[in-house]
Structures are given as C-alpha cells and as structure tokens.
Amino acid sequence: MAENEKLMFASDYMEGAHPEILRRLAETNMCKSVGYGFDEYTASAKEKIRRACGAPEADVFFLAGGTQTNATVIDALLRSWQGVIAAETGHIAVHEAGAIEFGGHKVLTLPSRNGKLTAGEIEAFARSWQQDENRDHTVMPGVVYLSQPTEYGTLYSLEELRAIRGVCSGFGLALYVDGARLAYALACPENDVTLRDLAELCDVFYIGGTKCGALFGEAVVIPRHGLIPHFFTVIKQHGALLAKGRIAGIQFETLFTDGLYSEIGHSAIVAADRIREALTEKGYRQAFRSPTNQIFLLLEKEQAAALSGKVEMGFWENTEDGHTVMRIATSWATSAEDVDRLIEIL
C-alpha cells in the first residue's frame, strides 16, 4: 500500500480468501467430481464440521451467503402461519431487503440492547401471544433468531443462551443462530459458547465463511438429523443450491483442517484488542462494549470527519446528541502494520 493511501478498516470482507483456501482450490482444481454437493470434498468438510461440533448425526449444508441462508433456513423451519422472533436490530429485520417477508413470513421484532435479546423478553412475548384471546388472528411465533456475535459485535454467554433455549423448549420455538462472524466469537477470550454448545442448544445454526476467510459460503448445521425434511429441495427452490458444490466444500474442508477457522478468528481478535487498548489509552470513547472483531467509536462530528480522511471505516449511525458512530472491523487479513498505522493515526 502506498503511503498516501487510506487505511481500510471498513469491513471484514475486503479481501479474497485466506491463502490456504486458494492453495487448496488450485491443488484440487482439475480433479473431476459430481455436482450439487455429492462430491468427496464436501463429504469430508461435513464430517470435519460434525466432529468440530460433537454432532456425529448432524445434517450439514453449504450455501453461498448470509441473507440466502437466513431466508432458506427460516422458511424451512416455519409453517405458513408462523413468524420469526428477532431483535429489532437483527440482520433479518433490517438489512435483508425483506427476504423473510418475500418468503411469506413476518419478522416479529423485539427491542434489543446492543444487538441482544434476553430470555425474559422472549418469554414475555411468547406468553403474551399464548394468552392473547385473539391469537388466532395474529402471527404465531415459531422460531427465535439470534446472531452470535450480534450485528453490534456483542456476545451471548452460555448462560444466556441456555436460558433462551429453555424458553424455546417451553414454548415450542425453534432456536436458530446466525453465525456470519462466528469465528470472531469463538476466538474471543471472554466467549464461553463453543461449537459443541451451539450444536447442543440450537435447532439450526450456521458457521460463517464469507466474513471469516472464505471466498463465500456458510455452513448450515442441523444437529438433529432429519429435522428439516426435503431441505435439499428447499435450498434449490430458494435458488441457493450450488452446482459446483465442491467449491464450498473445499473451502470449509480447509477451514476445518489444522485449526484454520480458529486461527482466523484469533488473529482478528488480537488485532482488535490492540486497537481497543490504544483507544482507551488515547481517551477515545466507544459507543458500547464489543469484545469481538468490531469496534464502535463514538466520535465528535469533526473528529469523525478528520479520521475518515485517513482511515476507511464503516458509518454506523448518528446519535441523537450529535455524535457519530463509526465502525472499525478487523479480520484474518488485518496486518500488524495496518494496526500500527491505525494506532499512530489515532
């Protein structure tokens, strides 16, 4: 990068793929295989994911992107008269252009704190639906959608997740976790939710590839085999079936070989922690505490403008009291040099 170029910290999907993935794609490139995910690379990737999740019976499917995965899974989990509970800040509620509604389902939003829902709020909502005399004129909640980490970089603790699972079981709700940035949660020192925990607690969750080192791809894990009948056809119907399924398979096989997925998460968290430390030292304020690979700076407008000239960050929002929140995201590709330069600029 030339000296006069801007530093890029706007998102965690600004590069291609982790070099090891490219290497493996090149290595296997001319081997012939059948399509639609019935190849041996995909089989191996599924097996490695089952093992990492301690879920030997799990159904695993690879889709191309997050919105597609959310729309397909949620549509498959819901019956026509049901809707999905989500935080009002949840990705499916805001930034998926109505993909859930396109599939015919309502997103039932609850207020959130820094991207998170609580077991108590979900329970109150489910109970209030149950006790509503007019409930048969309304949309029945059928699925709870969470993100781990959330869109605000925050984490559910194991205790919180268990409590939510308890509510779900009590009210017949399926629990679905969006893990678009799961690597960055798993690698976070204060995280206590493992892949095995997710496999134990969720009806479905996905392990994000696109934002965690792959060219593209998300791995849908359904721990209980057969929970979703005809899911292959549902995926096809949603336009989400990859003809060359192996391309996703090879990527996830690579991510789950020799700890690469952990390593990817780890390096991003190390970079983010260094930045957070520098921010604290230099007296910057953060909009809220986020321990993963996203940092939300609370800046004066002039400060924001000045910084933006030198660092490409993500615009998050303008607060009511006149501040600007900007997002810094690190990834597997963030170099120590870029972190050094960023700290210097700060």
Give the residue ranges of DSSP H helices in the chain: 19-27, 40-53, 66-77, 91-94, 99-102, 119-131, 158-171, 182-186, 195-201, 231-237, 245-255, 260-281, 301-310, 336-345
Among 165, 181, 238, 266, binds its own copies (CB under 8 A): 238
- Residue 280 Cβ vs its own copies, minimum distance, rounded to whole Å: 26
- Residue 102, both tokens: 């396109």
Residue with tokens 């605000």: 152
Contact 166, 119 (CB under 8 A): yes
Quick note: the x/- pattern for its own copies over 271-300, rule CB under 8 A, is: ------------------------------
Among 140, 173, 329, 339, binds its own copies (CB under 8 A): 140
Q: Let me know the angle formed at the C-alpha of 75 by 213 and 13, rounded to the nearest 5 degrees.
A: 15
The residue (of 4 and 80) whose beta carbon lies closer to its own copies is 80
**Parallel, antiparallel or unpaired: strands 82-87 and 204-208:** unpaired
Bridge partners of residue 221, in order along the sequence: 60, 205
Among 239, 305, 337, 344, binds its own copies (CB under 8 A): 239
- Residue 221 Cβ vs its own copies, minimum distance, rounded to whole Å: 19
Quick note: the x/- pattern for its own copies over 103-122, rule CB under 8 A, is: xxxxx---------------
The residue (of 241 and 328) whose beta carbon lies closer to its own copies is 241
Range 21-50, binding its own copies (CB under 8 A): 22, 25-26, 28-35
The residue (of 161 and 204) whose beta carbon lies closer to its own copies is 204
Among 43, 47, 65, 303, binds its own copies (CB under 8 A): 65
Among 51, 56, 57, 98, binds its own copies (CB under 8 A): 98
Which strands form 314-318's sheet, in the order they lie side by side?
285-286, 294-299, 324-329, 314-318
- Residue 92 Cβ vs its own copies, minimum distance, rounded to whole Å: 11
Q: Let me know the angle formed at the C-alpha of 105 by 103 and 111, rounded to the nearest 5 degrees.
A: 130
Contact 261, 269 (CB under 8 A): no
Among 46, 61, 67, 330, binds its own copies (CB under 8 A): 67
Quick note: the x/- pattern for its own copies over 186-225, rule CB under 8 A, is: ------------------------xx---xx---------
